[in-house]
Structure 1
């Protein structure tokens, strides 16, 4: 369970999170809001990528200020642009790097890498240059590279933004099938159908918190009311 307690954060004097409190316990949680609403910064506080100026974020009771290494093992993070996450030359190497330091031998690591590549449709590309994959394949590689470490929570910051409709569907269905808790930031509102809960952010605050249909309606009205 993730708890945010009076979380406030600013960049260069501009407040982007303003006294945000929430308990995130449901299996599928959506987070929506206009660009600049603070949702990406909020997402980054959940595994210590951003440490709030005041307030605190707790993951199963552990504070992101004090135990970030443990928290990042529990909370995986997927960015909107997979190119920012892919750091190794080949597909298999990029997945395997997340297993370094886990005490596995070479054979055990290879078995885990092969299993996750099969699961996410990348087995045929095992030894291919990672940067030559298609956009959809790169996003699946980014997911696989996080999931191979077996986090308990997966935070996804607009993972379908750069994808075509077919790959939006593939990524969405992959996320729906995961055992992990998923916290999904998205502008593709239809991907939130069936979620347990959706938070709407505006001006650094959570302005609505409820089931998907009502939350999406609130968000659409909010955007429509602007000049």
Structure 2
């Protein structure tokens, strides 16, 4: 099976603003970084890939699955970790939160809870099963969301600013877990240093690709431009 994200001629309008206009992109590398300023379209791009945003025109497929129209196929193919775990967690306890996605894949409640328990054990967090999610720190809630995604065994995992609002220990812990993942990874971040070792970097500016290539080339160019803009705003 061809492991690739294909975005073909996508036009997307959000709240009267044209975010993408005939945008096309193909992604197949194991580790892909996306950088850009706020409002550039980075998060919207991830939502398109996850099938959570509907374009006005064009098509998005992940490993051949039309993620917008085939929701069951999308659940088996791509998972997304939002910037704020509180926008993602909907159940009181950790075990319920992890089991939910597995039930959405068609598993029985009993099987889903058993698989959720296995996922927690694999992450070394068996003692979290009956913990109330709101009692966990932000970094811990972020980890719960990641465990829930990985339990569904997607081919692609999307991260929207996974290091935002985390202290250094939590940031390093999430960074290590991302580095060890088997699925393809796409990470949106404002911190180029966290993705310097990736296979490919894409700089998005106003819904267009400003640069695309090796991180060693794209990230310094992006950082230099951000420094230039910061100087103009001072």
- Considering the TM-score relative to the shorter chain, is it more than 0.5? yes
> How many equivalent residue pairs?
226
In the other structure, the counterpart of 2:142 is: 139
2:80 to 51, 63, 77: 77
Q: CA–CA distance in 2 between the matches of 1:15 and 1:149?
A: 33
Which blocks of at least 5 consecutive residues in structure 2 are unaligned?
A: none
Q: Provide Cα deviations, 1:129-149, integer angstroms capped at 9, x if missing partner.
A: 111101111000010111111
In the other structure, the counterpart of 2:151 is: 148
Alignment of 1:27-106 (within 5 A): 27-101=30-104, 102-104=106-108, 106=110
Q: CA deviation at 1:123?
A: 1.7
Which blocks of at least 5 consecutive residues in structure 1 are unaligned?
A: none
Q: CA–CA distance in 1 between the matches of 2:21 and 2:169?
A: 37
CA separation of 1:120 and 1:188: change in aligned 2, threshold 3 A: farther
In the other structure, the counterpart of 2:24 is: 21
Normalization by structure 2: what TM-score?
0.91
Q: CA–CA distance in 1 between the matches of 2:107 and 2:33?
A: 35
Q: CA deviation at 1:188?
A: 2.1
Q: Is the 1:73–1:151 contact (alpha carbons within 8 Å) kept by the matching residues of 2?
A: yes
Root-mean-square deviation (Å):
1.5
State the 4+ residue runs in structure 1 displaced beyond 4 angstroms.
none
Q: CA deviation at 1:180?
A: 0.4
In the other structure, the counterpart of 1:157 is: 160
1:180 to 165, 183, 192: 183
Normalization by structure 1: what TM-score?
0.93
Q: CA–CA distance in 1 between the matches of 2:150 and 2:36?
A: 26
Q: CA deviation at 1:109?
A: 3.1
